[in-house]
Amino acid sequence: MHKFAEMTKIRGGGKLTVLLAAVVTIMALPFVAGAATYYLKPGGDDSKDGTSVENAFGTVNRAFSQVHSHTAKDELIILPGEYAATTTLSMSGQLSSDIDDADVIRSSTGKPADVVIYGDGTTNVLNLARGVVVEGITFSNGVATAAGIGGGVRVGSNTAEYTSIISNCVITCCRANCKAKAGGGAYVHGTGKILDCVIENCSATTDDGAAGVFLNNSSNAPTIEHTIIRNCSGENYSDEKSCAGGIASGGSKGGSERIVDCVISNCTTTVKGGGAYLDFGPSALVSGTTFAQCRAIRGSGVLVAGGTGAFKDCSFVENRNVAGDNGGGVLVTSTSSVSFKDCSFCGNEAGNGGALYMTVTSSASLSNCDFTDNNAGDGGALYLMSDASVSMSNCTFTSNQGGFGGAATLDQTSHGYFAFTNCVFASNIATNNGGAVSCGRANFPNGSDGDSKNRRGMYGEFYSCTFTNNVAYESGGALFHRDNTSSRNSGKPLVLRNSLFAYNSVSTPGYYHCGGGIYLLSYDTPMVDSCTIVCNNVVTNGTSTTQFGAGFYTRWKSSIVNTIIAHNTMNGESEGRNDWIRNTATVSYSCAYPAPKQGTDTNPFTKANYCISADPRFVDAANGDFRLKNSSPCKNTGILEGWMANASDLAGNARVLDGVPNMGCYEFYPPPGVMLIVW
């Protein structure tokens, strides 16, 4: 008899191989009173006892009934062929929850293509209640017509907590058609598991269910691992409800679902959650999973509807919203709290937030994530809206494109907050404002375009970030910030700290060209602290009506300290309106070179403010090395601030050397082999 022992796993190419001993001696098997092995084959005889190939059962209903009714730990071996189930097949194994005591149903070859079981087209194919393992079988033509059912397979009881497993199986061409939660392919509850399966070409018309798999997280941890879900399509049964294309989770959320090392591709739905609609339990996990080429009106890859969950080492690839709504890769809504670690977002598209859209009071933390080639009407990669909060560290945004915010739009909030630390924004494009980031969405920087003048930016901090080669067609080549009232953010300003803004530009075909690197228009006194703003450019054309601030434009209120603004150009020339910093700005311990053109304003970069207007003398500005030479007038001329204790500069060195910081984002350190003598 086949010994099932916790399914020894060999992972390779996404497959899990169950090791079956070629020869098992009777001495190796534990004694189980009454245990038996049964056989099923085409042309078998149901009047036989089924205990040998010669006496095999002939119908799948008879064979399953025998194992189901027997109280011992049994095994059913199914020989290659196609079998028709005349009613739903039901299996319940031993009372023990120990999977070692499970009944086993398997194909004789271990190949799902060799054994196909068809439902009758009116009910689901298989119900697994407790203590059953199914291996190497294809299930087809099943229908779920009630809540808590999977059209192909239900794994685990829909009311009790038992462990059953379906492994190395195919579920295809099954469906769900009912108002309540169900799964077109499968339904998993309790500690039930789906391992190393393929679920494909399934469909569902249901509310809060899924065409592929539904995970009931009412308690314990339903699990799906190493499984492919593809070409499944969902349709909501009622208006404003959802039916995921690939996978959905929900319930009373007493347990936490696990989705591990899966691929969910080419799944679609009519409303929300093309790849997945997840209403998380208290500590859900999605790990090593790819969501690719899925479609929905919103949340095409994944829609997170609530709860707390972690995405680790996941990929969101070429998911696209079909009606220009929000969240091409992921949409996080409600009071959801999620984390993303070592994830990649590539080639996703949406009306807003091509890769990630967050709204209401949702929150997220992201680390070591990559956003590349995402596209949206606004917020090419990321869009934060309506009090959402996000914290990002060591993330990269490359070659994303949006209207406002080529990489990110941070918009309209009173309580939301963002923090970006050690992040890189490179080669992003905004067809309006904010080549990399737009804090707010005012179409015309002075707020004269009616309703959009009331759109306000969020507050938060960019710390030790790098902005290079970003382009905006209007204003703010790297960053655009607009906030027309200090009360909006409770007096908490935007902070740009210890960051580099280089080679960004405002370019054609816009008509209002300001701030090749940074554009700030705020009554909330945004702070620019220990930054280097260098080699940015404004390109004008015949349609441009206003051009100010080649590198830096600030109006109304702002605070500038320990910052270098240098070598920024207008149409490639250093002459002209180089940088525009109104005298309403508070400036100290900073360098502007050449001195900013102020019109009727006075130059705030004065000795009285401990400022200079001299060449900062970078190590190699032509090749992008903006560290300071030993002879730089910006060396040891900044002011010591509290945040600098134990902090690092942009290169990872200690922020302060010799007790006094440099201006800019880099601290001077002598080249290797050079002795620095301090008197």
Three-state SS letters, 119-185? CCCCCCCEEECCCEEEECCEEECCEECCCCCECCEEECCCCCCCCCEEECCEEECCEEECCCCCECC
Strand partners, 312: 287, 341
Q: Is the pLDDT of residue 446 over 50?
A: no
Query: How far, in Å, CA of 58 to CA of 48, rounded?
Result: 9
Name the residue among 269, 276, 323 with its Cα closest to residue 301: 276
pLDDT grade, residue 99 (50/70/90)?
low
Tokens of 35: 């245990």
Average pLDDT (597-604) is: 62
Query: How far, in Å, CA of 291 to CA of 266, rounded?
Result: 9
Higher-scoring residue by pLDDT: 83, 445: 83
pLDDT of residue 229: 98
Residue 623: strand, helix, or coil: helix
How many residues are there in the chain? 679
Of 137-151, 221-235, 565-579, minimum mean pLDDT range: 565-579
pLDDT of residue 431: 94
Higher-scoring residue by pLDDT: 242, 358: 358
Query: How far, in Å, CA of 202 to CA of 269, rounded?
Result: 12
Residue carrying the six token digits 């099943």: 142
What percent of the chain clears pLDDT 70, i.e. is strictly above it?
83
pLDDT of residue 583: 61
Q: Is the pLDDT of residue 164 over 60?
A: yes
Average pLDDT (48-54) is: 96
Query: How far, in Å, CA of 675 to CA of 679, rounded?
Result: 13
Displacement of CA 619 from its chain's centroid (Å): 38
pLDDT grade, residue 415 (50/70/90)?
low
Query: How far, in Å, CA of 274 to CA of 478, rounded?
Result: 33
Query: How far, in Å, CA of 49 to CA of 56, rounded?
Result: 7
SS3 per-residue string spanning 534-555: ECCEECCCCCCCEEECCCEEEE
- pLDDT by residue (tens digit) across 352-410? 999 999 988 899 999 999 999 999 999 999 999 878 899 999 999 999 999 999 999 99
Query: How far, in Å, CA of 46 to CA of 61, rounded?
Result: 10
Is the Cα dihedral 330, 335, 336, 337 positive or negative?
A: positive
Q: Whole-number mean pLDDT of the chain?
A: 85
Query: How far, in Å, CA of 506 to CA of 552, rounded?
Result: 11
- Direct distance between the N- and C-terminal alpha carbons of the chain, in angstroms, rounded to an integer: 85
Name the residue among 533, 535, 537, 481 with its Cα closest to residue 513: 537
Average pLDDT (420-434) is: 97
Q: Encode burial over 211-245: b for 16+ CB neighbours within 10 A, e otherwise.
A: bbbbbbbbbbbbbbbbbbbbbbbbbbbeeeebbbb
Average pLDDT (570-593) is: 74
Query: How far, in Å, CA of 633 to CA of 613, rounded?
Result: 10
pLDDT of residue 158: 60
Q: Is the pLDDT of residue 542 over 80?
A: no
The whole model's pTM is what?
0.90
Other Cβ atoms less than 10 A from the Cβ of 5: the count is 9
- pLDDT by residue (tens digit) across 100-135? 778 899 999 999 999 999 999 999 999 988 789 999
Name the residue among 309, 252, 249, 246 with its Cα closest to residue 282: 309
Query: How far, in Å, CA of 73 to CA of 104, rounded?
Result: 8
- Please report, as a single letter, which amino acid is at residue 527: M
Q: Is the pLDDT of residue 443 over 60?
A: no
pLDDT of residue 14: 38
Q: Is 320 exposed, middle or buried (0-12, 13-18, 19+ CB in 10 A)?
A: buried
**Would residue 185 be called left, alpha or beta, if left means φ above 0 and alpha means ψ between -120 and 50 degrees?**
alpha
Q: Is the pLDDT of residue 437 over 50?
A: yes
Q: Confirm if 594 and 578 have CB atoms less than 8 A apart.
A: yes
Q: What is the DSSP string of 523-535?
A: SS--EEES-EEES
Return the DSSP state at 256. Answer: -
Query: How far, in Å, CA of 115 to CA of 108, rounded?
Result: 9
- pLDDT by residue (tens digit) across 206-234? 988 999 999 998 878 899 999 999 999 99
Other Cβ atoms less than 10 A from the Cβ of 317: the count is 18
Other Cβ atoms less than 10 A from the Cβ of 334: the count is 14
pLDDT of residue 184: 96
Is the Cα dihedral 565, 571, 574, 576 positive or negative?
A: negative
pLDDT of residue 17: 35
The HSE-up count of residue 649 (CA atoms within 13 Å, CB side) is 23
Return the DSSP state at 654. Answer: B
pLDDT grade, residue 522 (50/70/90)?
confident
Phi, psi of 359 (to 5 degrees): -145, 180
- pLDDT by residue (tens digit) across 284-341? 999 999 999 999 999 999 999 999 999 999 999 999 998 889 999 999 998 899 999 9
Q: Confirm if 363 and 337 have CB atoms less than 8 A apart.
A: yes
pLDDT of residue 9: 33
pLDDT grade, residue 594 (50/70/90)?
confident
pLDDT grade, residue 604 (50/70/90)?
confident
Q: Confirm if 247 and 258 have CB atoms less than 8 A apart.
A: no
Query: How far, in Å, CA of 562 to CA of 224, rounded?
Result: 53
pLDDT grade, residue 12 (50/70/90)?
very low
pLDDT of residue 434: 95
Q: Is the pLDDT of residue 61 over 90?
A: yes
Name, of 147-156, 346-355, 506-515, the range with top average pLDDT.
Answer: 346-355
Please work out, in degrees rounded to the nearest 5, the angle formed at the alpha carbon of residue 118 by the alpha carbons of 115 and 123: 145
Average pLDDT (416-430) is: 95
pLDDT grade, residue 658 (50/70/90)?
confident
pLDDT of residue 23: 29
pLDDT of residue 70: 60
pLDDT of residue 655: 95
What percent of the chain clears pLDDT 90, i.e. is strictly above it?
62
Name, of 260-269, 382-391, 561-570, 664-673, the range with top average pLDDT.
Answer: 260-269
Domain boundaries of the chain, sorted by first residue:
377-679
